[in-house]
Structures are given as structure tokens and as C-alpha cells.
Amino acid sequence: MAPTFSDVSDADISKAIVERSSRQIADHVKSDCVIVGSGPSGLVAARELGRSGYKVVLLERNNYLGGGFWIGGFLMNTLTFRAPANVFLDELKVPYETVKKGLFTTDGPLACSKLIASACESGIFVMNLVSVHDIVMREDGRVSGVVVNWTPVSSMPRNITCVDPISLESMVVIDATGHEASVATIAMNKTGLRLKGEGPMCAQRSEDAVVKMTGKVLPGLYATGMSVAAIHGLPRMGPTFGGMLMSGKRCADLVKKELGKA
């Protein structure tokens, strides 16, 4: 009986993986924008920039994309959104239920997978299991990239972790790392920037404030999503995600305005 699948060796498979991945990484060591963090705000920013023709690298330290967008709150797969963020669900063709005027719920895995697919289809390049260890900064003080290494390297015993990182240059870096604001924290240590830390939870105040304060932190460095709250001392918003989506959109619009290429 003839085999069902093509006659391809294990070496052929390995070579295909290595060659394609190496080619993609080499092609993206310089880009228009590096986005660090693939939660909802990072995914929306990547999607908007990618669809506008910008060369975007999306970095994620975990082996999956989506952050807390997968599971909503309290390990339950229900996401909540307040109007007008439901327009994003309409755009992604994600069905949702109306709980009361201005409050909507939907399925986390469905909404997250749709957003991931839409972002990837925009032409961005994703590097997961990659962590940012430092920023690249020009003499004029502008952030112009990030220094990265594979996430598992940091878990290795210190006496065998002599694995040098590489740098990825970009016109703009977006910190979408959430509550940690890890890129802005690195910038703080390098430049004297002071992060205020998140305030206590208040969704009503937080979502509007996060969207309003989304934007430039330093020349070349922007923040979106909960990174904005950590930087500016805003309340946290808990398990509601409209502000995350709208913050990602606003950040992308501001970056497009600065780069002015699309």
C-alpha cells in the first residue's frame, strides 16, 4: 500500500524549520516598530500597524500569545466589555451578549483566538519565548530598539548562562507588557524615569484614564494597556477588556502619526 503522505525525511523537516525561521529573524532585526507583550493591547496595536503597512515585530516571553485575554477573570472564560469597545468585537466578528446597557460579555478563547489570527494576518512577525533584557538607545536619548534573549535562558543555572543576547533595532518600541511595564522599568533604570505604580482597582475610572494617557513615555518609547497604569499611577481595571483594546488602537494611531509612512 502506497504511503498517504509525501516522501519527506526528518532532516528535510528540520532544515525547513531552521531556514525559514532564520530568514525571518534576519529580515526583522530592523523594523518600524517592536511591540513587547502580546496581550490584547499589544495585539491590537500590532494589528493596526501591520494593516497600515508598517514592519512590526511582536515579542512575547511566553510560548503563547494573548495574555489574560484567554480566560477573563477568576479563571472563568468570560470576558466583559463596556461600550463603545464592542465595536472591536463587531469588527472581529465575535458574537457577544448584552448584560445591560453598555455592558457586554463574550467567550474568552474565541475572542482571543480571533484577535490573534487577525493580528497575524496583518503581516506582523511574532517571536515568542523571547524576553527583553535591555533597551537600545541612541546618543540623543531616543529609544531605538530592544536587547533580547530566549526566555528559557533566564531559567538556567547562573554558572552556565553565558548566552549573549542580540539587539532588534526599530524606529519605535511599544511597551505592552501589562502590570510590570517591564520595558519602561528598564528605561527607568537607565534614564531616571520614575514609574508611579498602579493604584487600587476601579474599572470605571481606569479604562478612560488608561486610554487617555496611552502614548509616548520617552522619545521612541510608547506604552499601551496596563503598562500605562503602572507608569502613571492609574487605577487597575480588573477583568474588563475594552480599555485594553481601545488603548492598543490609540497607541497605534499615535505611532502612525509619528512615523508618518503609512
How many angstroms separate the CA atoms of 106 and 233, rounded?
29
The kind and range of the H/E element at 144 are: strand 143-150
Note whether residue 32 is domain-resident: yes
Average pLDDT over residues 18-39: 98
Note whether residue 206 is domain-resident: yes
Predicted confidence (pLDDT) per residue in 185-196, tens digit: 999 888 888 889
Note whether residue 95 is domain-resident: yes
Note whether residue 21 is domain-resident: no
Predicted confidence (pLDDT) per residue in 75-96, tens digit: 999 999 999 999 999 999 999 9
CATH code of the domain covering residue 90: 3.50.50.60
Q: Cell match 498517504: residue? A: 4
pTM of the model: 0.96
User: What is the DSSP code (8-state) at residue 48?
Assistant: H
Predicted confidence (pLDDT) per residue in 212-252, tens digit: 999 999 999 999 999 999 999 999 998 999 999 999 999 99
* Domain carrying residue 246: 28-259
Note whether residue 134 is domain-resident: yes
Closest CA to 175 of 31, 34, 36: 36
Query: How many domains does the structure of the chain reveal?
Result: 1
Note whether residue 19 is domain-resident: no
C-alpha cell, 102? 453598555
Note whether residue 107 is domain-resident: yes
